[in-house]
Amino acid sequence: MLIKPQQAEALVKAPPPTLRALLLYGPDAGLVRERAKGARTAVLGAADDPFRLTELTGGDLKEDPTRLFDEAAALSFTGGRRVVALRDLADSQVRLVQEFLAALPGEALVVVEAGDLPKRAALVKAFEAAGPEAAVIACYRDEARDVGRVVEESLRAAGLSASPDAAAYLAANLGGDRQLTRRELDKLVLYMGEGAKRRVELEDARAMIGDSAALSLDDLALAVGSGDLAGADRALTRSLQEGVTAVGLLRAVSRHFQRLHLAVGLASESGDAEAAMKKLRPPVFWKQAAAFKAQMRLWPPRALGSALDRLMAAEADCKRTGFPDEALSGRLLLELAALAAARRERRPAR
């Protein structure tokens, strides 16, 4: 049974007694772990009772294929439903999974954490075809609106709120990995402390979040837009070393070009580039304002539209199985930087 994204959180928070097996997979490993922990906690409570929890890996099942059946059928000495947490299960072990899903011994909930499998992977199809007693949830990286919800929930739980500019900045600079997002927000909560100030402002968000991988992505987007090939190459290498995915690189530059596109459109109506920049949310950081304004002169709307189309197409290609995503994204970003450099060279000196 395939669970729709809008239904995922509700199922994880309260898995029905009839649900016997849950597969969590996708590119956001942090979200996979968070949802697996949520499902486990929903059944066991906050404390992991060792008599009601068994943790297995795909390697354990290679050594003893019957272990999964035995643990799922075992009874708890202390009463209550048991959970079998299964990690690092490979797509090649699908036959064992199919046999288990056909039998479903006992009453335990089996929570399976898999990696970044394609949608048509054999393991995914096995869970989808197993009927209502098995469920599969794909865990994709948060979009800006999802990050916004996580930010709001985390701050509210700490008795905090965020200004519109701070909320927009956090939504734009978090979201590559759900657990990393949570850790960054925990840092922000600690930074705010227990004082009277209960609203996070833009400078607070920049002070804590700006020192992470988001800073490398800012550098990358600015270098690409400015035609700084050497700077783009350095920022690209640094971002990949910090664990940013190819899709994350493309989205960061896409967000920058979308802001450029909006600012250029506003400036064409008012004739005032600086006023147009001030209308953006979050506003352009003052240290980047000069470079951003120069890029507004460098990129006409048609060129920005073409660049955004190429970035969107590259993201779709990166999501296809077997594509060299890092090489593909890196090549496009350097091509866009070279295009900006060529445009800058053609512009008359001012």
Report how far residue 168's alpha carbon sits from residue 262's, in angstroms, rounded to the nearest whole number.
16
Residue type, 43: V
* Rounded mean pLDDT, 70-88: 88
By percentage, how much of the chain surpasses pLDDT 70?
93
* Rounded mean pLDDT, 137-162: 84
Is the pLDDT at 89 greater than 60, yes or no?
yes
Domains detected in the chain:
5-138 (3.40.50.300), 144-209 (1.10.8.60), 213-346 (1.20.272.10)
With contact defined as beta carbons under 8 Å apart, do 202 and 169 qualify? yes
Beta bridge partners, 161, equal: 199
* Rounded mean pLDDT, 255-264: 91
**Mean pLDDT, rounded, of the chain:** 85
168 falls in which pLDDT band (50, 70, 90)? confident
- At residue 128, the pLDDT reads 92
Residue-wise pLDDT tens digits, 9-18: 899 999 999 9
Cis peptide before 27 (omega within 30 of 0): no
- At residue 252, the pLDDT reads 87
| pTM (whole model) above 0.85 | no
With contact defined as beta carbons under 8 Å apart, do 84 and 56 qualify? yes
Q: Which two tokens stand for residue 226?
A: 């400015």
